[in-house]
Amino acid sequence: MDKHGPKVHRPPSSYQNHKRTSNDTLSANPVHKSFRPNQGGPTLCPPESSASSRQTLSTMRQLYEKDFPVYKQPVEVGSFSLDSERRFFNDARQIRYYVEPPPRPKFDLRDGYKDRFVKRDDGVKEKLDHILRWILANKSKLQSSVAAASSSPALGVDIVTWRGHLTKLLTTPYETREGWLLAATLFRGTLYLSEVETEASRLDRVNCNERHQEMMYWGYKFEQYLCADDIKGSPNPGGVVNTNEAFCTVVQTKLADHKLLFSGEVDCRDRGPKAPAAPACYVELKTSAEICTPKQRSNFHRFKLLKWWAQSFLPGVPRIVAGFRDPDGLVIGTETIHISKISHLIKNESNCWKPTVCMNFCCEFLSFVRTVVREDNPRVVHLFSWDPHQDVTYSVHRDSTYCFLPPWYVEGMTSSSTSPH
Ligand code: A3P
Ligand code: MG
C-alpha cells in the first residue's frame, strides 16, 4: 500500500493515481450552456442558479483525450447471490469455479437451447433493488467505516449503481447506435443511478428474432462448459442453463473525487490454491465469432474489446477467457485475455478507442450529474438522456413513475434497524 492509501497501478492498462492538471480542465470543458429541450416532455430546467451554467454535456471524444484520471484499485466490500427464482441472498452461494478448457475444445453452444434453458424475464425491471437489499443488509458495516471519516455522507459513498450502467458510460464516446436513459436520485447525500429502458431498446427486446434469441443463449452455455458449482467439481454440460441465477460482487473504488459503490455479476473465480483475493481471482467469460481475416481482427479490437475492457476494468477483474465459435455455434478455441494488456493489443489499430477517453467521460458525467442534482429527495428523479451524436440532456420528474428508490429502502435507511428485504 502506498502513501495514497489503497494500492494503485499505472495507466492506461490498469489503475493509477494521477491527478489531472488544471490545464486539462481549462483546455477542454465539455459542459456547454446550450440547452436542448426534449419535446413534449416534463419539466426541463435547472431550477437553481448554481446549475444554470451546466445544462448539457458533450460526448465528443477529443474533449476527453486527457491524462488518465485517478481510478483506485477496486476493493470488494461484499457479494450477494440470486437464485433460480431470482431471490436475493446476502452470501456467495451462487459462486462458480473456473475449470480450464481442453486445448482443442468442441463446445456445442446450441445444445440444450430448446429443452434445458430457463430464461430470466427481462421484462421485469429490478432497477437497483438487489443492490439496495445488499446495502440494507450491510448497513451497519458500511456505516461503521463512515464513522471513522465523519465528513463523508451517511453511506460513505457518492454514487451507487450497477457496474453495467458505468460500462455504458465508459463506452458512450464511441457508441454510434444505442442511446441510454439514466435516472438519478439524491438521497441522504448519496446519488443513486438507475437505468431506464429506452423505447428503442424495448422494441429490440420484444421483437428479438429467433436466431438472436438463440445467440444470446450461447454466452451462458459457454459459461456452463467452463464452470463448476463446487470447488472440487467438474462442469456439467448436461444440466439446465438458468439465467436467473447470479453471483454479484460489490466493490468500492474512487474515480477522481467520486467515491463509487457498485455491483456487477461475476461469471466465476479461480479455484487454485494460489488464487489472489477478490476481485483479482475473478474470471470473465466471453464468446465471440472466430477471427479469420485481418478485417475481423481489427473489428474485434475496435468494437468488442472496448466493451470487454470497460466491463472488467471497472470492478478490477483481471482476465477474460474468450471462446471463439464458428457460425454453427461450436467453440473451437479459447484464449485468455489479460485486461492490463488490452491497451497494447489495440495500439496499432487506427481509429481505435482510448481507455483515457472512456474514463474521463465517465468522470465528467458524474461531476455533471452531481452539479445538476442538488435536491436530496427520494421522490425526485433527474432523468439523463443521451442519443448518439447528441449531447447529454436531462429533465426533472417529481413523484413520477421514474422514482426508483422503494419505500422499504427509504424507511430502512431512515430507521435505526435493518429491513427484512
Ligand atoms: P457473451 O459475453 O459470451 O456474449 P456476460 O458476458 O456479461 O457475463 O453475459 C453473459 C451472456 O449474456 C453473454 O455472453 C450473452 O450471451 C448474454 N448477453 C449479455 N448481455 C447481452 C446483450 N446486451 N445482448 C445479448 N446478449 C447478451
Ligand atoms: Mg461473461
Q: Mean pLDDT, to the nearest integer, of 208-213?
A: 95
Asked if residue 12 has pLDDT above 70, the reply is: no
**Can you tell me the distance from the alpha carbon of 108 to that of 225, in angstroms, rounded to the nearest whole number?**
9
Whether ligand 1 lies within 6 angstroms of the CB of 218 is answered as yes
Highest mean pLDDT, choosing among 27-31, 43-47, 344-348, 404-408: 404-408
Question: Ligand 2 centre from 378 Cα, in Å?
Answer: 33
pLDDT at 149 over 90: no
Count CB atoms within 10 A of the CB of residue 236.
12
CA of 216 to the centre of ligand 1 (A): 6
Q: What is the pLDDT of residue 6?
A: 38
Distances (CA, A) of 130 to 140, 194, 252: 17, 12, 16
Tell me: the pLDDT tens digits for 168-203?
Answer: 999 999 999 999 999 999 999 999 999 999 999 999
15 C-beta closer than 6 A to ligand 1: no
pLDDT value for 44: 42
- The H-or-E segment that residue 311 falls in is helix 305-313
Average the pLDDT over each of 79-83, 105-109, 152-156, 283-287 and give the range with the smallest value: 152-156
Instruction: Please state which of the ranges 149-153, 338-342, 391-395, 412-416 shows the lowest mean pLDDT.
Output: 149-153
Q: Quote the pLDDT of residue 328.
A: 94
Average pLDDT over residues 37-60: 55
Strands (E), 13-170: 31-32, 56-57, 75-82, 88-89, 97-98, 107-108, 117-118, 159-162
Residue 176 Cα to ligand 2 middle (Å): 23
Q: At what angle do helices 305-313 and 355-372 cross, to 10 degrees?
A: 60
| Apex 180 CA angle, 174 and 181, nearest 5 | 145
Is pLDDT of 125 > 70? yes
Share of the chain above pLDDT 90, in %: 82
Q: CB of 219 closer than 6 A to ligand 1?
A: yes
Whether the CB of 267 sits within 6 Å of ligand 1:
yes
Q: Mean pLDDT, to the nearest integer, of 348-371?
A: 97
Cell numbers 451524436: residue? 389
pLDDT at 204 over 90: yes
Atom of ligand 1 nearest to the CA of 287: 3
89-109 pLDDT per residue, tens: 999 999 999 999 999 999 999
Q: Which atom of ligand 1 is nearest to the CA of 285?
A: 6
Q: What is the pLDDT of residue 38?
A: 34
**Residue whose CA is closest, atom 15 of ligand 1?**
219
The packing angle between helices 355-372 and 163-171, to 10°, is 110
Nearest ligand, measured from the Cα of 286: 1
Q: How far is the CA of 263 from the centre of ligand 2 (A)?
A: 15
User: Residues 187, 377: contact at Cβ < 8 Å?
Assistant: yes
- pLDDT at 21 > cutoff 50: no
Please tell me the distance from the alpha carbon of residue 412 to that of residue 419, in angstroms, as a whole number. 5
Q: Which of 419, 408, 407 is nearest to 379 (CA)?
A: 407
Residue with cell 427509504: 410
pLDDT at 36 over 90: no
pLDDT of residue 220: 98
Q: How many angstroms does the Cα of residue 293 sit away from the middle of ligand 1?
A: 24
Ligand 1 pocket, residue 315 CB under 6 Å: no
| pTM to 2 decimal places | 0.90
Mean pLDDT on 361-376: 98
User: pLDDT band at residue 34, thresholds of 50, 70 and 90?
Assistant: very low
Placement of cell 444554470 in the chain: 52
Ligand with smallest separation from the Cα of 98: 2
Quote the radius of gyration of the chain (alpha carbons, Å): 22
pLDDT band of 47, cuts 50, 70, 90: very low
Ligand closest to 216 (CA) is 1
Query: For residue 257, is pLDDT > 70?
Result: yes
Beta bridge partners of 193: 184
Average pLDDT along the chain: 89
pLDDT grade for 148, boundaries at 50, 70 and 90: low
Q: Whose CA is nearest to atom 24 of ligand 1?
A: 216
Q: Residue 286 CA: which ligand 1 atom is closest?
A: 3
Of 157 and 22, the structure prediction assigns the larger pLDDT to 157
245 within ligand 1 shell (Cβ under 6 A): no
Average pLDDT over residues 329-340: 98
User: Is 216 close to ligand 1, i.e. is its CB under 6 Å away?
Assistant: yes
pLDDT of residue 16: 54
For the cut 80, the answer to whether the pLDDT of residue 42 exceeds it is no
* Whether pLDDT at 10 is above 90: no
Residues 380-402 pLDDT 10s: 999 999 999 999 999 999 999 99
Ligand having the closest approach to the CA of 320: 2
- Above 90 in pLDDT, residue 415? no
